[in-house]
Structure 1
Amino acid sequence: MEHHTTTILGMLGLGSKENLYWISILLFVGTYTMIILEKFFHRVPAALLGGTLAIFLGVVTPEAAWEAIDHNTMFLLIGMMIIVSVLIESGFFSILSSVALRITKGDPLKIILTFTMLTAVLSAFLDNVTTVLFMVPILISITRKLKLPPVPYVIATVLASNIGGTATLIGDPPNIIIGSLGNFTFMDFIVNLAPIVIVTHIIGTIVFIGMMKFQGHLEAKVKDEEELKRIVEEQKIEYDIVLMRKGLIIFGITIILFFLHHILHLEAGTIALFMASALMLWSKENPEKIFERVEWTTLMFFLGLFVVIGGLEHSGVFEDAARLVAGVITDPMSGILILGSLSAIISGIVDNIPFTMAMSYVLIDLAKTATFNTEPLWWALALGACLGGNLTIIGASANVVAAGLSEREGYPLKFFDFVKQGTPVTIVTVIVALGLLWLKYTIFGV
């Protein structure tokens, strides 16, 4: 990309490639620092400031900034938020919340086990964002009624979503990239990753429940049997059956199309936005009313963050990081541990999509010259990139979406609250997953 002297940095004599490289890193560090210091800065204007500053200074051109925005993620978020908004309006989530309350009988442990398991399974076959958009409103409604703190339960659900999404080709965006560039099929992911992810999810859940028990979050606040019975039975559910039927039909077709998106050669985002538009036309609901429920603050956060990260990508920072990782890999066994661990750390700090893309191209090049089987490295990259998303609140799209939903309901999900719960689970799950992958190739050699 040509950087002309007409940019602000160019006019100041700072437009060289090397300067842009370091300025893109500085911009990222500055933006990230503001997101961490949420006591002083709200993360949304912080991300937008970082993104617009990258364009303003000329680190990226407006065209390059537009290309840096992951349109598939944005379309998917907007589309699914519209469909979920209509389902909320129809009373569908109130019914689900009531059913979940009856099944779990208000027991905090049963609630956490039910929701984490359901979320992990759904995330393997839907994308994480759709699952979180679906589960979080129900969870907040239940915990609020039972006088439990919703935030730890929301975090548990998000962590389960990122773990479950690791199991299949369609579960997490990095897997879609790996499947596409590494020429792996849906069954390749099921055979190589699903068994590892099942064990990892069980251990991750045990760790999380242990932490919640230690922090006192599994202590029932409504202990009186009669009061609990009254909460379960007294739920007033208002619903619009016609609107609910339309919403569920469109939601069902959307899910089927998600499964077929490889055959149809359509991005999940295109499907979601198309089906959401069809639902708005069919339901005849007031679009303004529907759009009020769309998480615009979350979308704006992604917009800014994509541009900041686009600056790193454009300056070649990801390529250098990927080459550095590839440079220290001498055999598949050390490669699993090195690549998997570094992918987890990097994916927890920056968006895992551009890093996975850069690393995938490096692995393709590595396969041409390597004297060993590079396939295990692809699976290590998938495990690291997906599980590492649990490290911080901006490590995965699902985390940011959950934070936005929680904040809207009056329960802000802080950066360090997420780190406190997410980091221990990430460390344990990454060690377990990479250890199992390493054993698989050491013992069975396949």
Structure 2
Amino acid sequence: MSVRPFVALVIFGLAFFYIATEKADKVKVVLIGAAAMLVLGLAPGTEVFFSEHAGIDWNVIFLLLGMMIVIGIVKQTGVFDYLGIWAAKRSRGRPYRLMVLLMLITAVASPFLDNVTTIMLVAPVTIVVCERLRIRPQPYLIAEVLASNIGGAATLVGDPPNIIIGSRAGLTFNDFLVHMTPIVVVVFVLFVVLSRFLFRKDFRFNPEQVAAVLALQERRAIRDPWLLAKCLIVLGLMVAGFSLHSVLHLEPSLVALIGAGVMVLVSKVDVGDVLREVEWATLVFFVGLFVMVSGLTHTGVIEAIGDWAVAAIGDRYLLAATALLFGSGVLGAFFDNIPYVATMTPVVEGVVEQEPQAGKSLWWAFALGADFGGNGTAVAASANVVALGIASRSGHHITFWQFTRYGVVVTALSIGLAWVYVWLRYFV
């Protein structure tokens, strides 16, 4: 029996331990882990740069890069200060009301912009709001990320795993709306209620700061109205591009890069200033993480888990849906859900082919488990990593466990409700 899968698991486990305990810088950890996988021949060599399913997902990397450039330009207009003052005034500085407002904005935007893009837009606003009100932004950022992963599950383009599943299973934008949106709405409403108790210790009301913020004129925050108008036009076209993915056949990453290029041209900003706004450490972290996961894929670890599951389940489709839902929720919390879904999709396809009609429910159980499992830990989804990077760069560090202790609770609630939904809708 080959020891390669065991060695790959040990390397990944050690890397995850250091990331989780923050005993070392997470970028250094994933680079060392990726190097170990490559040197020992556990990852597929240069194939990690070219394989769509067993290597680095460049669609994710370039989607992030493009949106980081866009956000860097939009920030120069002063619109984030405007939105920050507007949100603070709208909520009248009441912490829970402010959190609900920000979560609602995030959850409504995520199904159409995708959750990573939404977090990149909303997180800077949140930090501005909280700094003006002299309250800690960390709880608000965590709540937004959790809301974005819930809201993004509703559509084909809202969460990257859905794009992978939709492509492989032949599911349309409307299919996701019909099958995913109902449970997403229920889960989000209950999460809003739950957040009142989850974050209760962090709700601080500062009357003096609120009075000062209410006296501000948000329109004065806009430094360049003409630049803002041009940015909003480009951003609107990008949103249309994301939403029309199935019509235009353009990957979200290409839409983001084209949009970034157009925005650089029309804004005439200094490119050097914009590139300094890019979260390079976050991009490098994802590259290293993808290489480590490719080691698990290349050595057959994830495939072995899938084969074992298929053999154990047989034609018991409720059991299969349950295993996929809970299994994806658990495994998706430890591996980034994008490479996890890319790896497991062929396994699910093989089970569904045995009985296409009965097996159709498995795609929805798989999607719900992967999407909601993205809230499980700080590294479970792209939006989580991006938000933590923005927070750290702004001087408001969020630890792995600070995020995860909230994420685990929300994931457990979401997966439990999703199982009831799958059972009632497809098996009763």
TM-score (norm 1): 0.91
Superposed CA deviations along residues 86-122 of structure 1, whole A, max 9, x for unmatched, are 0101111111112111211111111111111111111
Given candidates 226, 233, 239, the residue that maps to 2:215 is 233
- Separation in 2 of the partners of 1:71 and 1:293? 20
More displaced 10-residue stretch of structure 1: 416-425 or 311-320: 311-320
Opposite residue 231 of structure 1, the aligned amino acid is: V
Q: 1:374: how far off? A: 0.4
Query: Contact between 2:79 and 2:222, CA under 8 Å: does it hold in 1?
Result: no
Give the % identical residues: 36
Identify the residue that residue 145 of structure 1 maps to in structure 2: 132
Superposed CA deviations along residues 342-361 of structure 1, whole A, max 9, x for unmatched, are 00000000011232233321
Please give the residue correspondences for 1:332-351 in structure 2 after superposition, counting only pairs within 5 Å: 332-351=317-336
- Separation in 2 of the partners of 1:89 and 1:56? 43
- Separation in 1 of the partners of 2:327 and 2:386? 25
Q: 1:339: how far off? A: 1.2
Identify the residue that residue 101 of structure 1 maps to in structure 2: 88
Q: 1:261: how far off? A: 2.0
Q: 1:238: how far off? A: 5.0
More displaced 10-residue stretch of structure 1: 66-75 or 50-59: 50-59
Q: 1:372: how far off? A: 6.9
Identify the residue that residue 6 of structure 1 maps to in structure 2: none
Given candidates 368, 381, 387, the residue that maps to 2:353 is 368
Shift of the 323–354 alpha-carbon distance from structure 1 to 2, 3 Å rule, reads: farther
Secondary structure in 1 matching 2:401: helix
Q: 1:82: how far off? A: 0.5
Shift of the 95–355 alpha-carbon distance from structure 1 to 2, 3 Å rule, reads: same
Shift of the 143–367 alpha-carbon distance from structure 1 to 2, 3 Å rule, reads: same
- Separation in 2 of the partners of 1:238 and 1:200? 36
- Separation in 1 of the partners of 2:356 and 2:67? 45
Task: Indicate the RMSD between aligned Cα atoms, in angstroms.
Answer: 1.6
Superposed CA deviations along residues 165-197 of structure 1, whole A, max 9, x for unmatched, are 111111111111111111111111111111011
Which consecutive unaligned segments of at least 5 residues does structure 2 have?
none
More displaced 10-residue stretch of structure 1: 70-79 or 185-194: 185-194
- Separation in 2 of the partners of 1:101 and 1:243? 24
Query: Contact between 1:387 and 1:430, CA under 8 Å: does it hold in 2?
Result: yes
Secondary structure in 2 matching 1:167: coil
Q: Does 1:261 align with 2:261?
A: no
Please give the residue correspondences for 1:166-245 in structure 2 after superposition, counting only pairs within 5 Å: 166-213=153-200, 216-220=201-205, 222-224=206-208, 227-234=209-216, 237=221, 239-245=223-229
Q: Does 1:417 align with 2:390?
A: no
Q: 1:266: how far off? A: 1.2
Which consecutive unaligned segments of at least 5 residues does structure 1 have?
1-16
Which portions of structure 1, spanning 4 or more consecutive aligned residues, are displaced by more than 6 angstroms? none
Query: Contact between 2:145 and 2:387, CA under 8 Å: does it hold in 1?
Result: yes
Secondary structure in 2 matching 1:193: helix
Opposite residue 32 of structure 1, the aligned amino acid is: F
Please give the residue correspondences for 1:38-187 in structure 2 after superposition, counting only pairs within 5 Å: 38=22, 40-67=23-50, 68-187=55-174
- Separation in 1 of the partners of 2:71 and 2:108? 19
Opposite residue 178 of structure 1, the aligned amino acid is: I
Given candidates 255, 258, 270, the residue that maps to 1:286 is 270
Q: 1:368: how far off? A: 3.2
**Equivalent residue pairs, number:** 421
Secondary structure in 2 matching 1:411: coil
More displaced 10-residue stretch of structure 1: 100-109 or 375-384: 100-109
